[in-house]
Amino acid sequence: MLVAGWFVWREWQGPELPGYRLELRPLVQRVVASGEVGSQSVAQVGSEITGVVAVRHVREGDAVKAGDLLLELRDDEQRARVGEAEAALEQLLQSTRPQAEALLRETRTNLDQATRERERRDALYERGLLSVELREQARRAEIVARVAHERARLAAASLAEGGSEEQMLRQRLEAARVALSRTRIHAQVDGIVQSRAVEPGDLVQPGRTLLEIARAGGREILLPLDEKDLAPVAPGQLAQVVADAYPERAVPARVSYLAPAVDTSRGTLDVHLDPLEPADFLRQGMTVSVNIETDRREQALVLPNDALFAREGSRGEALRVKGGRVERVAVRLGLRGTGLSEVVEGLEPGDRVLAAAAEEGRRVRLRERPLPGGAQP
């Protein structure tokens, strides 16, 4: 009779269901997602001239400094042009200019002689000692000498130091040297060679990317975040980044930038994070797990998410056990995560809630579980 009474009493108490006793504890809200290692800046290296690659000095993964030689193009034609320009300038300096200066002195002397002769004949003509014809011959000779001297002066002026001829030849030489320098392709930034699309013997042209260099110190983490998880994420938040290849090495990072638009084909928005310390082991394209701390409470009333029903936005319902019976309670939520959510309205510390569905008003016995996840949602 006693045993039968015990079973009747247990049946009257209702079924035993799992649940929790709510309490205050520290709570951290996090967003967890997978991303990949990228670069804030990738320099695309090309050629300014058309040419054939003679030597390639780098390959993928090589570290380079600004100014390092990356590629050499065949330079026979450019060297020949430099030689021609140097020879033309040398000829000006050593031959053409001295000859022009000598011709200028000669025509000056001839003009002086022609002028003196014309003046002598003018004097004789005035005294009636010379014919008109001889006087006119002297005047024409002076005019011819003056024209020859003017031509020599103009030629000498163009060939003089700093003159138009020298400037033109020096510009031609400089252009030839620039063209020669363009057969040597140097790194413009410090970084790591990410890709190459060229080999010795290849014909290259302007506009074609030959190498890509990821700028040193420009590592970033690119996180394509589902738009439904986006609301709590903001620039400046701290995060932990763990590469799948190095699970024991966590890298601190900070959210630096959120893309302005959602990728409609995937329903994601790109979140950019900057590592806060050097992490040379991170390679371009590596898969990483990112844990962003979006908010925290030093003391919060936490509710396990498996005890939350009819959740919609910041609202939901919990099944509280009071006096051995189930009652449905509307709750308002604060911080939310994958394991725990903060209750800001509807429940109190010490309340007991079910982690399984039950009819309102039904008698139940609660089998209490420990709250999951420590301080982590």
Boundary of a domain, candidates 295, 326, 355? 295
Domain residue limits at 63: 51-73+183-214
Tokens encoding 96: 């053409």
Give strand pairing partners of 204. Answer: 51
State how far Cα 29 lies from the chain centre. Answer: 31
- Dihedral of alpha carbons 159, 161, 162, 166, sign: positive
The verdict on 169 and 199 lying in the same domain is: no
Largest CA distance in the chain: 177
Those residues with Cβ within 8 angstroms of residue 362's Cβ, 6 or more apart along the chain or in another chain: 14, 325, 326
The verdict on 277 and 321 lying in the same domain is: no
Those residues with Cβ within 8 angstroms of residue 73's Cβ, 6 or more apart along the chain or in another chain: 47, 49, 51, 52, 53, 54, 182, 183, 184, 185, 204
- Relative to beta strand 16-21, strand 365-369 is parallel
Residue 107 included in any domain: yes
Count up the domains in the chain and report the number: 4
The verdict on 83 and 134 lying in the same domain is: yes
The verdict on 257 and 110 lying in the same domain is: no
CB contact at 8 A, 193 and 213: yes
CB contact at 8 A, 327 and 361: yes
Which whole number is the average pLDDT over 352-360?
Answer: 90
Model pLDDT, residue 7: 45
Residue 291 included in any domain: yes
Which whole number is the average pLDDT over 66-90?
Answer: 92
Look at 38 and 263; give whichever has higher pLDDT. Answer: 263
Residue 7 included in any domain: no
Boundary of a domain, candidates 239, 260, 295? 295
Q: Give the span between the Cα atoms of 193 and 71, in whole angstroms.
A: 13
* Environment class of 347 (CB within 10 Å of its CB; exposed 0-12, middle 13-18, buried 19+): buried
pLDDT in tens, 9-33: 445 457 889 999 999 988 888 888 8
Boundary of a domain, candidates 249, 280, 295? 295
Q: Given pLDDT bands bounded at 50, 70 and 90, which one contains residue 214?
A: confident
Q: Give the span between the Cα atoms of 34 and 20, in whole angstroms.
A: 31
The verdict on 83 and 176 lying in the same domain is: yes
Q: Give the span between the Cα atoms of 237 and 250, in whole angstroms.
A: 16
The verdict on 357 and 307 lying in the same domain is: yes
Which whole number is the average pLDDT over 48-52?
Answer: 92
The verdict on 204 and 189 lying in the same domain is: yes
Which residue, among 222, 230, 258, has the nearest Cα to 34 in the 3D structure?
222
Name the percent of the chain lying above pLDDT 90: 42
Q: What is the DSSP string of 9-69?
A: HHHHH--EEEEEE--EEEEEEEEEEEEEEEES-EEEE--SS-EEEEEE---TT-EE-TT-E
pLDDT in tens, 261-298: 888 888 899 999 988 888 778 887 889 999 998 888 88
The verdict on 251 and 316 lying in the same domain is: no
**Above 50 in pLDDT, residue 1?**
no
The verdict on 119 and 174 lying in the same domain is: yes
Specify the CATH number for the domain of residue 326.
2.40.420.20
Model pLDDT, residue 8: 45
Model pLDDT, residue 13: 57
The verdict on 160 and 239 lying in the same domain is: no
pLDDT in tens, 133-177: 988 998 999 999 999 999 989 888 888 888 888 889 899 999 999
Rg (CA), the chain: 45
